């Protein structure tokens, strides 16, 4: 008999009630008594478990051996009947087959493990409810991102992972090399000249530069893939490997791209609300009170917008004592962002027009000569989830920005060419997928949004 997924059984219960069904899954809980045994099964197709009821007069002890162990993989056949709980169904089992035994020292026991402990068993923690729910939302959110861009006429492009330039210019590139320690090599140039590419190479920190190349041919594009940063920040929201969604739009100015970013966040939030109700309820109960109402608010109400200079004023007037001093020109630290999002605006806020010195070389210089047409979207509880800007499309100004920062001009020749040949205003942004997941689920640590998180001194 063909196996039916448990998610399908519960979603289409009318179709299967009273019929013989075959299901498979891992034992999540079990109870044994003299006459009857209960097994709660999960096969990954839904957050909810399905119960199989075993009338023990039908089974020899031999047949049941190992089938009630937590974590064991089993196949159950039987009739689908109404369950005890409202809406639930259960299987009156005729047969149980042990597909994979699971000894009692299974590291996931029937108790609430700490997140720290679960991080030590990344290969098994995915079988817990929390991670089941997390990865289902991660999958749905990714799908929603593709759907949003596809519906709006964007092309999905694949930019390289190995690059020769540093998009953010922050020197946080992981080197890609096939050479080992070579004491005989006299200089850095000589070293890289004999390396695989004949020049220095690294893992991309952002697909933006190549995204701009594509946007200036195809109009509206987005990339969606892994990006890498050797940032030395050991925080709950930095990972060395994370996924970024990066749209790039020709003929768009800063306000146009802010509108697209807003629409995208609302769209994907609405998608998760509509398609992951069970998972959100779970996260609401375990991790963040009021989560669903918060997300509804995001999907339905306006985002705030504040000028960087005004944000500095708000921080100065706050009467708070911050660890990092606040003055015009300073980069906003987590504590500053927190104050703005959690105490002043209490919803997503775009901070616009940052001082040029604290932002990347490619951002368009505003007429004041001091600030750039750039914005970060900050959200309560997480901080920055989007970095966004209009790009400098003036050849001379861009050249100067590269020079001032002492960047290697030869690495940016093609990028400069875009400003030489048919230059147009254009804008884009990057959304960190894991940061968005933290916001959507209320999970407080980025390490719990990835299967195998990579952070400083940590490669599980």
Residue 384 touching ligand 4AD (CB under 6 A): yes
Give the integer Cα–Cα distance in Å for 44 and 349: 36
Which residues fall within 8 angstroms of residue 429, CB to CB, at 6 or more apart?
Answer: 246, 247, 257, 260, 261, 386, 387, 388, 389
- Stretches 63-71, 156-164, 245-253, 385-393: which one binds Mg ion (CB under 5 A)? 385-393
User: By C-beta, is 23 or 382 nearer to ligand 4AD?
Assistant: 382
* 167 part of the interface to ligand 4AD, by CB under 6 A: yes
Nearest-CB residue to Mg ion? 387
Look at residue 209 and give the partner it binds from Mg ion, ligand 4AD, none, a contact being a CB closer than 5 to 8 Å depending on partner kind.
none
Query: Are 89 and 10 within 8 A, CB to CB?
Result: yes
* Segment lying near ligand 4AD (by CB under 6 A), choices 146-154, 181-189, 272-280, 379-387: 379-387
CA distances from 101 to 4, 45, 66, 67, 69 (A): 21, 21, 6, 8, 8
Ranges of beta strands (E only) in 33-104 are 36-42, 50-55, 73-82, 89-100
C-beta of 384: minimal distance to Mg ion in Å?
A: 6
Summary count for the chain: helices (H), strands (E): 16, 17
Q: Is 380 in the site for ligand 4AD (CB under 6 A)?
A: no
439 binds ligand 4AD (CB under 6 A): no
Residue 25 makes contact with ligand 4AD by CB under 6 A:
no
| CB within 8 Å of 400: residues ≥ 6 apart | none
Report if residue 387 touches Mg ion, rule: CB under 5 A. yes
**What is the nearest approach in angstroms of Mg ion to the Cβ of residue 376?**
6
Task: Please tell me whether residue 201 adopts helix, strand or coil conformation.
Answer: coil
Nearer to ligand 4AD, 133 or 388 (CB): 388
When CB distances are held under 5 to 8 angstroms depending on the partner's kind, the choice from Mg ion, ligand 4AD, none that residue 371 binds is none
Of 159, 165, 208, 449, which one interacts with ligand 4AD (CB under 6 A)?
208
**Should residue 348 be labelled a site residue for Mg ion when binding is judged by CB under 5 A?**
no
- Assess 434 for contact with ligand 4AD (CB under 6 A): yes
Separation CA 280–CA 282 (nearest Å): 5
Residue 418 lies near ligand 4AD (rule: CB under 6 A)? no
Question: Least CB distance from residue 252 to ligand 4AD, whole Å?
Answer: 12
- Give residue for tokens 């089993």: 74
Q: Examine residue 428 and tell whether it contacts ligand 4AD (CB under 6 A).
A: yes
User: CA–CA separation, 456 vs 174, rounded Å?
Assistant: 12
Cβ-Cβ contacts under 8 Å for 89 (sequence gap 6 or more):
9, 10, 13, 16, 17, 50, 80, 81, 82, 83
8 A C-beta contact, residue 349 and residue 336: no
| Residues at the site binding ligand 4AD, with contacts judged by CB under 6 A | 167-168, 206, 208, 229, 231, 238-239, 242, 244, 246, 384-389, 428-430, 432, 434-435, 446
Residues that bind Mg ion (CB under 5 A): 387
């Amino acid at each position: 008999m063909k196996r039916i997924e448990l998610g399908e059984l519960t979603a289409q219960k009318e179709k299967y009630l009273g019929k013989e069904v075959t299901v498979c899954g891992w034992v999540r809980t079990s109870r044994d008594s003299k006459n009857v045994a209960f097994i709660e099964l999960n096969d990954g197709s839904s957050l909810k478990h399905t119960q199989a009821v075993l009338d023990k007069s039908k089974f020899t002890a031999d047949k049941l051996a190992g089938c009630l162990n937590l974590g064991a993989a089993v196949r159950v056949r039987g009739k689908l009947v109404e369950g005890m709980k409202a809406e639930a169904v259960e299987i009156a089992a005729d047969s149980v087959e042990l597909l994979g035994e699971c000894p009692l020292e299974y590291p996931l026991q029937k108790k609430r493990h700490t997140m720290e402990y679960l991080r030590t068993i990344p290969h098994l923690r995915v079988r817990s409810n929390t991670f089941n729910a997390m990865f289902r939302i991660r999958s749905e959110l990714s799908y929603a991102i593709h759907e949003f861009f596809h519906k709006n006429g964007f092309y999905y492009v694949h930019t390289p992972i190995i690059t020769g330039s540093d998009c953010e210019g922050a020197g946080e590139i992981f080197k890609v090399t096939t050479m080992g320690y070579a004491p005989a090599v006299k200089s850095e140039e000589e070293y890289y000249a004999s390396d695989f590419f004949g020049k220095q190479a690294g893992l991309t920190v952002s697909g933006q530069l190549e995204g701009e190349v594509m946007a200036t041919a195809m109009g509206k594009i987005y990339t969606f893939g892994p990006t890498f940063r050797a940032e030395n920040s050991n925080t709950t929201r930095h990972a060395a490997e994370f996924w970024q969604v990066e749209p790039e739009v020709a003929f768009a100015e800063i306000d146009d791209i802010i509108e697209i970013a807003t629409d995208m966040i609302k769209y994907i939030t609405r998608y998760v609300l509509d398609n992951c109700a069970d998972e959100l309820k779970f996260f609401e109960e375990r991790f963040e009170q009021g989560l669903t109402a918060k997300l509804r608010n995001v999907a339905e109400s306006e985002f705030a917008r504040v000028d960087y200079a005004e944000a500095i004023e708000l921080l100065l007037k706050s009467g708070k004592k911050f660890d990092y001093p606040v003055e015009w020109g300073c980069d906003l630290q987590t504590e500053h962002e927190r104050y703005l999002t959690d105490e002043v605006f209490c919803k997503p806020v775009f901070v616009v027009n940052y001082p040029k010195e604290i932002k990347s070389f490619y951002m368009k210089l505003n007429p004041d000569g001091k600030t750039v047409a750039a914005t970060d979207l900050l959200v309560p509880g997480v901080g920055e989830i989007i970095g966004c800007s209009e790009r400098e499309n003036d050849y001379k100004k861009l050249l100067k920005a590269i020079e001032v920062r002492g960047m290697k001009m030869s690495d940016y020749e093609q990028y400069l060419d875009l400003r030489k040949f048919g230059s147009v205003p254009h804008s884009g942004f990057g959304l960190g997928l894991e940061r968005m997941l933290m916001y959507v689920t209320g999970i407080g640590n980025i390490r719990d949004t990835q299967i195998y998180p990579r952070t400083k001194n940590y490669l599980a």
